[in-house]
Amino acid sequence: MREIKDFIKDKKIDLKRLEKFGFKLKDNSYYYDIFLLNNQFKMIVKINLDNSIFTEIIDVETNETYVLHLLEERRNGYVEKVYKTYSEVLDKIKKECFEDEIFKTDYTKEVVDYVKNKYGDELEFLWEKSPKTAVVRRKNSNKWYALILTLSKRKLNLDSDEAVEIINLHNSPEEIEKLIDNKRYFPAYHMNKKHWCTICLDGTVELKEIYKLIDISYKLAK
């Protein structure tokens, strides 16, 4: 079997969905097989718990592994048809068995859950060139009240190249001025610094305090 690199990057396995789809657990890996193109080929998919994924196509008539679909220069005519069918199966698995995990830290996940559970709002990824930048907007006004992204701490004038997930929140200019200390609260990254501030989602500010600031930002987006 051959591993598919980066196929499920920034995705997380949903084991319940995997089993519902038809995957079977064997030796700590999940297996799924399906026949393609009028039973001419058998496709086997193996997914490990570390998110690595392997595939194999077997020619039913010869019982040998088929590899032409993996060679880009050979993808024309019938081989292209095999590759297209193979890709459609993988895309369906990705869509139905995995969930987005662009943001990794538990703190960020807690914040996203808070927004979703209290206000019913989901993250929106608006920019193709910034696939890891998300906004949250208030439904009745369509205005943003939070922006979440990953950046280098150095961009917040901290002496580190470590990546950190941050949230930008709206507040009054008076409160922004009181909050900014360049240790826990920072001038807003890439936003109006008079009306927004940045918080690192790494534990430097307690979640209950972040929740309060999210509520303020939400009210200001009315």
Task: List, for residues 71-85, the tens digit of each pLDDT value.
Answer: 888 788 999 999 999
Query: How many Cβ atoms are within 10 Å of 163's Cβ, its own excluded?
Result: 10
pLDDT in tens, 120-159: 998 998 888 888 899 999 999 999 999 999 999 999 999 9
pLDDT at 143: 95
pLDDT at 13: 84
- Residue 184 in contact with residue 195, Cβ under 8 Å? no
Architecture of the structural domain at 106-220 = Alpha-Beta Complex (3.90)
Assess whether pLDDT exceeds 90 at residue 11.
no
| 3-class state of residue 215 by DSSP | helix
pLDDT at 14: 84
Percent of the chain surpassing pLDDT 70: 100
26: Cβ contacts below 8 Å, ≥ 6 apart = none
Sequence-ordered strand ranges (E) for the chain:
2-3, 11-13, 24-26, 29-36, 41-48, 53-59, 64-66, 98-100, 134-137, 144-152, 163-170, 185-187, 196-200
The arithmetic mean of pLDDT across residues 8-31, rounded, is 89
Assess whether pLDDT exceeds 90 at residue 50.
no
Pick from 122, 113, 112, 98: nearest CA to 16: 98
Assess whether pLDDT exceeds 80 at residue 99.
no
Helical axes 207-220 vs 106-119, angle rounded to 10°: 40
pLDDT at 141: 94
The arithmetic mean of pLDDT across residues 38-55, rounded, is 93
Q: How far apart are CA 131 and CA 41, in angstroms?
A: 36
DSSP state of 189: T
Assess whether pLDDT exceeds 90 at residue 9.
no
- Residue 161 in contact with residue 150, Cβ under 8 Å? no
pLDDT at 5: 81
Q: Which helix (H) or strand (E) holds 220?
A: helix 207-220
DSSP string of 15-29, one letter each residue? HHHHHHHT-EEETTE
**Confidence category of residue 102, pLDDT binned at 50, 70, 90:** confident
Q: Is the dihedral of CA 105, 107, 110, 111 positive or negative?
A: negative
pLDDT at 132: 82
Assess whether pLDDT exceeds 90 at residue 54.
yes
13: Cβ contacts below 8 Å, ≥ 6 apart = 47, 49, 51, 97, 98
Q: Where are the domains of the chain?
A: 2-100, 106-220
